[in-house]
Amino acid sequence: MRTIKVGLIGLGTVGGGVVEIFKNHREDFKRRAGVDIVLAAAADRNTVRFEQLGLDPAICTTDAFAVATDPNLDIVIELIGGTGVAHDVVIAALEAGNVVVTANKALMASAGQEVLGLAEAKGLDIRFEASVGGGIPIIEPLKHSLISNEISSVMGIVNGTTNYMLTRMTENGLDYDTALKEAQAKGFAEADPTADVDGFDAAAKIAILASIAFNSRVTIDQVYTEGIRSLAPSDIDYAKEIGYTVKLLAIARRTDEGIDIRVHPTMIPSGHPLASVSGVFNAIYVVGDFVGETMFFGEGAGAGAAASAVMGDVIEAARALDAGNTVIGCTCVDNLRIRPIDELQDRYYVRMVVHDRPGVLAATATAFAKHGVSVESLIQRSPGEADSAELVYVTHQASEASIREAFEEIRALDSVSEIAALIRVEDI
Amino acid sequence: MRTIKVGLIGLGTVGGGVVEIFKNHREDFKRRAGVDIVLAAAADRNTVRFEQLGLDPAICTTDAFAVATDPNLDIVIELIGGTGVAHDVVIAALEAGNVVVTANKALMASAGQEVLGLAEAKGLDIRFEASVGGGIPIIEPLKHSLISNEISSVMGIVNGTTNYMLTRMTENGLDYDTALKEAQAKGFAEADPTADVDGFDAAAKIAILASIAFNSRVTIDQVYTEGIRSLAPSDIDYAKEIGYTVKLLAIARRTDEGIDIRVHPTMIPSGHPLASVSGVFNAIYVVGDFVGETMFFGEGAGAGAAASAVMGDVIEAARALDAGNTVIGCTCVDNLRIRPIDELQDRYYVRMVVHDRPGVLAATATAFAKHGVSVESLIQRSPGEADSAELVYVTHQASEASIREAFEEIRALDSVSEIAALIRVEDI
């Protein structure tokens, strides 16, 4: 049994989890997985972490590139995150002939082609299971167990922060600001919550999932993205009333006109398995032509869960190195079109605040009708303020373009104060 | 690209699904998976299937062993099922140097050691993802993505027939016989439903899952098994009343005293993700020391789902053959003790029919107390019959042995007509 030497770059929370797995399970890995893996180098700018994690000072450095390019290593784990230094570190590691394991969704969703291409050219393995869904096995099952299917859709709750906030808003009636403050206090949200609440984190993840599921490269900038900042408690309540639950859903669908890919608050039927995924949990729902519906559920964040995925990748890579096995490279061989959001055919929930006067209902309904948008249901409410009412429309299937055209007309109406909410309704 | 030749033995429903995947996706596999796989031989006793499935007569035979031992093949798919001919066919295929893919849970749960040992000795791959959970990827994730964890428990709803019946009993108030007849009429249950309703199917599956999760061989005969035949609608109703849902749960837990493994009707909290798995769907819930909770959900039966898993295995095996990769063998290296059911510590739901007279409550409660069984809650009801009442106890944690001792004493009481139900309560 050959000893596989691993370098770890980035000793944050996930890095700490990785160190712990090495400590707890190295002997188990020898016996159960048939590989001897040793943590042979570690790098972080914050030298305090070396002692905190009980690392041998002899293997520690502040120089990430020294670890990345270390010729004595076999595998380099990149846990810096982001697309700056992390990008250069990953490229340097591959150039130096080291296998790479990373949890970096931003990197894989933006520079996946460069990184995977270089790995393939070098005949090296690169693995990134931890980049989506924390500890949930999803990238490997898509690449392997489900490969005999043509995947028609992948959709999921892939951001724990916003799912925690939405759960609190739905189950306990919190508003957005209170939910965010609570998530921050509990350590579920960053001081700057932009990446989570504006949907960018979820966008990176669905770009990665779609690339694998559809064998066609999708990058983060191709994902239409809306976050949850403008979501009001009343929209969540109206959704409940009509049997739906609001989730920040990352959606990727294969259609005859290309890949439909987007992240936005979405009303899904409350009976759907995804609707009951609550708190910081994540779940990814996959439909294939033979397998039918499947769902993968688990902890989407946290040191242990992400470290589990990272170390799963490390062990797989180590086994392949030990056996001298050939790496099976990237299979993003198709080149499918990305459908612009205007082409989307969906159902829409629209809440508008109007002046409570005769004709407003007719005027708004006429605007929809004129653009071919057929109405499925309508609720009119007077929330209390004088002269003010709310109209809540749910449309039948309509094109996003026609909805936008109707909106222009509706916004021009004197009797309409604002279109306060637009939420897409998915009857999955 | 080398052409990998596959032989298919058994052209039932799943076999039909496999033929369909070959037809629909062979070209996709070349492009997306980088392997060219061809169906080069097929065997079934029922020759009508050859034409039904549109197979070239030149590749068809009624001789399973001719296919199993065909030196021109690379991979043999065994879909006969059972432990008779199927066993001999699998052994013959391996002896002849063919890689084996099988969906045979009975074989893997009883003769796994023989079959896996022979494959390892021959340096051949053997894969059996379809043996558990239909199309749900679970064996591969346990072997790979989750391998960095010490798995503490695997439990699941792994029999679609009984889950369909229990769903109808729970949601629509059907009794056992009506639910069974309906399941049979819909094709979800066999004419002889024994394997499903008595829990043997689930027992084979949990034996396979436990062997992989705990790296220790468990066979079907080591699984304590109770089916759902005696489950009464009133037990399901009482469960609802106290916030539980009754499922036929297959449970495997790693404990300091060995592996706790069993299949029986189980009350689980209605808020648990497993409780909302309804109809013929399956789900497997896995807890690991780093990954935390994960769940894998999907279609547990049906031609398409099982064929998806079979063909996922075929493609993986074909890729490995094509690349000349070394096979990583069985890792059941630990030799953990199986805990007898008497050692189980659990909570218990007990329903007894008693004569409605003074002292019966005290007498039954005393019997429990005498054997150290502490009562958590008690419901007393008079269902209508004169002189008859029902006592429904839910105990605190108690040992199975002490419950049985208390039962002996209770059965001897004149005032007790029968102990009508014993259901274990798992606070997962």
| 3-class secondary structure per residue, chain B | CCEEEEEEECCCHHHHHHHHHHHHHHHHHHHHHCCEEEEEEEECCCCHHHHHCCCCHHHEECCHHHHHCCCCCCEEEECCCCCCHHHHHHHHHHHCCCEEEECCHHHHHHHHHHHHHHHHHHCCCEECHHHCCCCCCCHHHHHCCCCCCCEEEEEEECCHHHHHHHHHHHHHCCCHHHHHHHHHHCCCCCCCCHHHHCCHHHHHHHHHHHHHHCCECCCHHHCEECCCCCCCHHHHHHHHHCCEEEEEEEEEEEECCEEEEEEEEEEEECCCHHHHCCCCEEEEEEEECCCEEEEEEEECCCHHHHHHHHHHHHHHHHHHHHHCCCCCCCCCCECCCECCHHHCEEEEEEEEEEECCCCHHHHHHHHHHHCCCCEEEEEEECCCCCCEEEEEEEECCEEHHHHHHHHHHHHCCCCEEEEEEEEEECCC
- Percentage of chain B surpassing pLDDT 90? 92
Please tell me which of the candidates A20, A144, A273 has its beta carbon nearest to residue B316: A144
Q: Are B120 and B332 in contact (CB under 8 A)?
A: no
From the CB of residue B388, how many other CB atoms can be counted at a distance below 10 Å?
13
Question: Measuring CA to CA, how many Å separate B211 from each of A57, A246, A318, A345, B404?
Answer: 40, 40, 23, 47, 29
Residue A145's pLDDT is: 95
Contacts of A148 in chain B (CB under 8 A): 21, 25, 29, 307-308, 310-312, 314-315
Task: Establish if B75 touches chain A: CB-CB under 8 angstroms.
Answer: no
Please tell me which of the candidates B24, B137, B297 has its beta carbon nearest to residue A273: B297
Q: Which has the higher per-residue pLDDT, B1 or B338?
A: B338
Nearest alpha-carbon partner for A25 in A308, A319, A317: A308
Closest residue in B to A271 (Cα–Cα): B276
Residue B330's pLDDT is: 72
Task: Report, as an integer, the average pLDDT of B271-276.
Answer: 93
Among the residue ranges A241-250, A253-262, A409-418, B355-364, the one predicted with the least confidence is B355-364
Q: Is residue B246 part of a domain?
A: yes
Residue A198's pLDDT is: 98
Please tell me which of the candidates B276, B293, B312 has its beta carbon nearest to residue A145: B312
Report helix, strand or coil for A226. Answer: coil
Contacts of A34 in chain B (CB under 8 A): 328, 331
Q: Is residue B77 part of a domain?
A: yes
Residue B174's pLDDT is: 97
Residue B69's pLDDT is: 98
From the CB of residue A342, how many other CB atoms can be counted at a distance below 10 Å?
12
For residues B62 and B110, state if they share a domain.
yes
Sheet holding A36-43, edge to edge: A60-61, A36-43, A3-9, A75-78, A99-102, A126-127
For residues A211 and A124, state if they share a domain.
no
Task: Read off the pLDDT of residues A276-314 as tens digits, 9 standing for 90 and up.
Answer: 999 999 999 999 999 999 999 999 888 999 999 999 999
Residue A329's pLDDT is: 74
Residue B401's pLDDT is: 96
Window 1-40 of B, Cβ < 8 Å to A: 17, 20-21, 24-25, 28-29, 31-34
Predicted-complex ipTM score = 0.95
Window 213-272 of A, Cβ < 8 Å to B: 215
| Number of residues assigned to chain B | 428
For residues A310 and A295, state if they share a domain.
no
Per DSSP, helices labelled H in A328-424 are 360-370, 400-411
* Number of structural domains chain A divides into: 3
Window 271-330 of B, Cβ < 8 Å to A: 273, 276, 288-299, 302, 304-305, 307-312, 314-316, 319-320, 323-326, 328
Residue A357's pLDDT is: 84
Please tell me which of the candidates A291, A314, A326 has its beta carbon nearest to residue B135: A291
Given B5, B105, B205, B247, the catalytic residue: B205
CATH assignment at residue A59: 3.40.50.720
Task: Read off the pLDDT of residues B183-216 as tens digits, 9 standing for 90 and up.
Answer: 999 999 999 999 999 999 999 999 999 999 999 9
Task: Establish if A362 touches chain B: CB-CB under 8 angstroms.
Answer: no
Q: Is residue A396 part of a domain?
A: yes
Q: Active site includes B240? A: no
Selected for mutation to probe chain A from B1, B294, B333 (highest A CB count within 10 Å) is B294
For residues B121 and B159, state if they share a domain.
no
Selected for mutation to probe chain B from A294, A327, A330 (highest B CB count within 10 Å) is A294
Confidence tier at A320 by pLDDT (50, 70, 90): very high
Contacts of A307 in chain B (CB under 8 A): 148, 290
CATH assignment at residue A407: 3.30.70.260
Given A30, A205, A240, A370, the catalytic residue: A205
Task: Report, as an integer, the average pLDDT of B367-391.
Answer: 90
Q: Are A330 and A383 in contact (CB under 8 A)?
A: no
Please give the Cα distance from B100 to A100 (Å, whole number): 32
Q: Is residue B334 part of a domain?
A: no
How many angstroms separate the CA of residue B93 from the nearest CA in chain A?
23
Backbone Cα Rg of chain B: 24
Q: Is residue A337 part of a domain?
A: no
Residues forming beta bridges with residue A267, ordered by sequence position: A246, A425
How many angstroms separate the CA of residue B348 from the nearest CA in chain A?
28
Please give the Cα distance from B299 to B14 (Å, whole number): 13
Q: What is the mean pLDDT of chain A?
A: 95
pLDDT at B385 over 80: no
Question: Measuring CA to CA, how many Å separate B3 from each of A197, B168, B302?
Answer: 49, 48, 29
Please tell me which of the candidates B20, B140, B290 has its beta carbon nearest to residue A141: B140
From the CB of residue B415, how many other CB atoms can be counted at a distance below 10 Å?
18
For residues B89 and B146, state if they share a domain.
no
For residues A411 and A352, state if they share a domain.
yes
A-B CB pairs within 8 A amount to 197
Contacts of A150 in chain B (CB under 8 A): 24-25, 28
In the numeric block, the tokens 């409550």 are attached to B361
For residues A77 and A176, state if they share a domain.
no
For residues A264 and A157, state if they share a domain.
yes
Task: Establish if A101 touches chain B: CB-CB under 8 angstroms.
Answer: no
Q: What is the mean pLDDT of chain B?
A: 95
Q: Is residue B328 part of a domain?
A: no
Confidence tier at B99 by pLDDT (50, 70, 90): very high
Please give the Cα distance from B143 to B353 (Å, whole number): 47
For residues A164 and A176, state if they share a domain.
yes
Q: Is residue B79 part of a domain?
A: yes
pLDDT at B62 over 90: yes
Nearest alpha-carbon partner for B104 in B85, B81, B87, B126: B81
Task: Report, as an integer, the average pLDDT of B126-148.
Answer: 96
Task: Report, as an integer, the average pLDDT of A157-166.
Answer: 98
For residues B242 and B188, state if they share a domain.
yes
CATH assignment at residue A188: 3.30.360.10
For residues B119 and B266, state if they share a domain.
no
Task: Read off the pLDDT of residues B413-426 as tens digits, 9 standing for 90 and up.
Answer: 999 999 999 999 99
pLDDT at B383 over 90: no
Residue A356's pLDDT is: 85
Task: Report, as an integer, the average pLDDT of A72-79.
Answer: 98
Confidence tier at B302 by pLDDT (50, 70, 90): confident
Tokens of A48: 């305090």
Contacts of A309 in chain B (CB under 8 A): 145, 291
Q: Is residue A188 part of a domain?
A: yes
For residues B223 and B347, state if they share a domain.
no
Closest residue in B to A146 (Cα–Cα): B312
Please tell me which of the candidates B129, B288, B325 has its beta carbon nearest to residue A326: B325
Which structural domain, as residue segments, surrounds residue B395?
A: 342-425
- Percentage of chain A surpassing pLDDT 90? 92
Contacts of A33 in chain B (CB under 8 A): 147, 331
Q: What is the pTM of this model?
A: 0.96
